């Protein structure tokens, strides 16, 4: 049955064949070991405390070794800002044992973001290292942050731009949900912010699509964004359309290479 053999355990299989006519027999044995994942290491975040979308954390794994010597060892760093056990990828699988990134604010009130690293050997046997960081929520300037996203996209840093863009989406979503101002200047500013976010999202998705050649699997997200932001007044974005666009954006960010991974069963 699948999974009955334990990783890192040695087994001996013996086969005996007996001739019915003569009663003579012979046997053969095979000794083998089930490949085990890397072990003996740990992972940590430095600094242990910082601000969401501002502080650059160094996520680092140390002293990992593979018992069978199946090298290289690879590392994938992930975060669970929602606290639900649904992890988003901060990095792809890489041979570097560290990764520097900003982190999103947690949804919970205790400011703890759960992190984990999936550590694999060259044959695919994997271990998971759990750790955490304190990430204090902060209000960000949407326009400045959007500029930073565009700069990061230009530099090819899709990992950091994806995290920052997700934070911007969250910020604008919260603003849209709580802003009841009837001041025209405030409304114009809010519409401008939403437009900047949509522009950054479109640039992000287009870049990822071009690099990965996966427009069909992405479901033509640029078109989805355009449809989600259609209004009677072509010069503005209604709160309802904006809200739908931002929800779509969160889904797009996950699909475009920052897909979440459910927590492993304990």
Give the DSSP letter string of 8-69: T-EEEEEEEEE-TTT--EEEEEEEEE-----BS-EEEEESSEEETTTSPEEEEEES-B-TT-
Q: How much is the pLDDT for 58?
A: 97
- Residue 220 zone, left/alpha/beta (φ > 0; ψ -120 to 50; rest): left
Q: Provide the percentage of residues in the chain whose pLDDT is more than 70.
A: 63
Mean pLDDT, residues 132-152: 85
Question: Which two structure tokens, joined as six digits, stand for 161?
Answer: 């731009």
d(CA 127, CA 119): 5
Nearest alpha-carbon partner for 102 in 159, 38, 61, 20 = 159
Three-point CA angle 143, 166, 233, nearest 5°: 55
Per-residue confidence band for 80, with pLDDT thresholds at 50, 70 and 90: confident
d(CA 174, CA 6): 48
Chain center to CA of 152 = 17
Residue of 78 and 248 predicted with greater confidence: 78
d(CA 99, CA 77): 7
User: 229-236: long-range contacts (C-beta < 8 A, 24 or more apart)?
Assistant: 229/198, 236/191
Among 116-120, 148-152, 177-181, name the most confident range.
116-120
Q: How much is the pLDDT for 88?
A: 81
Mean pLDDT, residues 183-188: 64
Mean pLDDT, residues 177-195: 63
3-class SS of residue 150: helix
Q: pLDDT digit string (tens) for 196-229?
A: 666 666 666 666 556 544 433 333 333 334 434 4
Question: Which two structure tokens, joined as six digits, stand for 194?
Answer: 């939403």
3-class SS of residue 214: coil
Kindly give the residue spans of alpha helices, DSSP state H, lying in 69-111.
Answer: none
d(CA 123, CA 39): 14
Per-residue confidence band for 156, with pLDDT thresholds at 50, 70 and 90: confident
d(CA 131, CA 78): 10
Comparing 30-44, 55-69, 175-189, the range with the smallest average pLDDT is 175-189
Question: Which two structure tokens, joined as six digits, stand for 191?
Answer: 């519409």
Q: How much is the pLDDT for 187?
A: 63
Q: Are 37 and 7 in contact (CB under 8 A)?
A: yes
Bond into 81 cis (ω within 30): no
Mean pLDDT, residues 149-175: 77
Q: How much is the pLDDT for 169?
A: 72
Q: How much is the pLDDT for 241?
A: 52
Q: How much is the pLDDT for 16?
A: 94
Per-residue confidence band for 165, with pLDDT thresholds at 50, 70 and 90: confident
Q: Provide the percentage of residues in the chain whose pLDDT is more than 90.
A: 33
d(CA 168, CA 26): 71
Say whether pLDDT at 83 is over 80: yes
Say whether pLDDT at 42 is over 60: yes
Burial of 143 (0-12, 13-18, 19+ CB in 10 A): middle
Q: pLDDT digit string (tens) for 224-253?
A: 344 344 433 434 445 555 455 555 555 555
Q: How much is the pLDDT for 84?
A: 83
d(CA 26, CA 15): 8
């Amino acid at each position: 049955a699948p999974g009955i053999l334990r990783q890192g355990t040695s087994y001996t299989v013996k086969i005996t064949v007996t001739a019915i006519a003569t009663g003579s027999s012979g046997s053969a044995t095979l000794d083998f070991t089930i490949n085990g994942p890397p072990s003996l290491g740990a992972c940590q975040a430095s600094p242990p405390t910082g601000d969401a979308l501002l502080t650059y954390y160094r996520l680092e794994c140390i002293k990992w070794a593979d018992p069978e010597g199946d090298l290289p060892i690879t590392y994938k760093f992930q975060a669970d800002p929602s606290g639900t056990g649904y992890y988003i990828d901060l990095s792809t699988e890489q041979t570097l044992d560290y990764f520097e990134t900003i982190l999103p604010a947690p949804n919970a009130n205790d400011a703890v973001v759960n992190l984990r690293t999936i550590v694999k050997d060259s044959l695919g046997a994997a271990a998971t290292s759990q750790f955490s960081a304190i990430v204090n929520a902060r209000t960000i300037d949407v326009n400045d942050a959007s500029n930073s996203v565009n700069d990061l996209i230009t530099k090819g840093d899709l990992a950091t731009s994806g995290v920052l863009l997700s934070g911007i989406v969250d910020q604008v979503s919260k603003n849209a949900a709580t802003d009841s101002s009837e001041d025209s200047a405030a409304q114009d500013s809010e519409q401008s912010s939403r437009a900047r976010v949509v522009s950054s999202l479109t640039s992000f998705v287009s870049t990822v699509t071009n690099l990965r050649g996966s427009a069909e699997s992405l479901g033509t997200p640029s078109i989805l964004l355009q449809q989600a932001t259609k209004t009677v007044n072509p010069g503005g974005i209604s709160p309802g359309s904006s809200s739908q666009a931002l929800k779509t954006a969160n889904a797009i960010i996950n699909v475009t290479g920052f897909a979440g991974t459910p927590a492993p069963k304990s």
